[in-house]
Amino acid sequence: MLSDIESREIQEAIQAADNALYHLQNARVYLNKASNWGIVDILGGGVITGLFKHSRMGDAEREIEEAKYALQQFSRELRDVSGYSSIHIDELITFADFIFDGLLMDVIAQSKIADAKRQCDDAIRQVTGIRRELQERLTY
């Protein structure tokens, strides 16, 4: 049986996990949108298409920054839970500035977006798994 303190610490960690997942999932949505616009851009889109792509990349970047902060909070809350020392999340996602708009830059941007989507998915899986473990501890 968990003490009230242990239960509260687990609940706080779960709330922090939920916040991190919220921002990671939003980032993933924006990365998908950027990817879709990027494909259109590669296939001959113009300036407007590039603007949409870069706008969605900017949206994703803002959500990723929020996710990084939320993951740090999650890590701190997780340290308060018995059995967890820390969560080690490497640099989550970084974006390069794409100044030039040409076929090569569009392909590179698509590659970076795909990498960011994979990293985002990995972080979502990792946080979801730990959240599930915490939830199970609360239930038992």
Average pLDDT over residues 99-119: 63
CA gap 90, 63 in Å, rounded: 17
Residue 65 lies in a domain: yes
pLDDT score, position 95: 31
pLDDT computed for residue 101 by the predictor = 40
- For the cut 80, the answer to whether the pLDDT of residue 127 exceeds it is yes
pLDDT at 120: 86
- The reply to whether 80 falls in a domain is yes
- Is 88 part of any domain? yes
**Taking Cα atoms as reference points, which of 57, 60, 50, 77 lies closest to residue 26?**
60
Q: What percent of the chain has pLDDT over 90?
A: 20
Q: Which residue has the tokens 């049986």?
A: 1
66 located within any domain: yes
What pLDDT shows up at residue 107? Answer: 52
Calculate mean pLDDT across residues 9-25.
93
Domain containing residue 127? 4-135
Say whether pLDDT at 134 is over 80.
Answer: yes
> What's the confidence (pLDDT) of residue 73?
87
Q: How many domains does the chain have?
A: 1
Contact assessment for residue 64 and residue 92, using Cβ atoms and an 8 Å cutoff: yes
Is residue 106 predicted with pLDDT exceeding 70? Answer: no
pLDDT tens digit sequence for 63-95: 888 888 888 888 888 888 877 765 544 443 333
> 55 lies in a domain?
yes
Residue 140 belongs to some domain of the structure: no
Do residues 89 and 60 make contact, with C-beta atoms less than 8 angstroms apart?
Answer: no
In order, the DSSP letters of 29-77 are HHHHHHHHHHHHHHTT--HHHHHHHHHHHHHHHHHHHHHHHHHHHHHHH
Q: What is the pLDDT of residue 26?
A: 92
105: in domain: yes
Residue 118 lies in a domain: yes
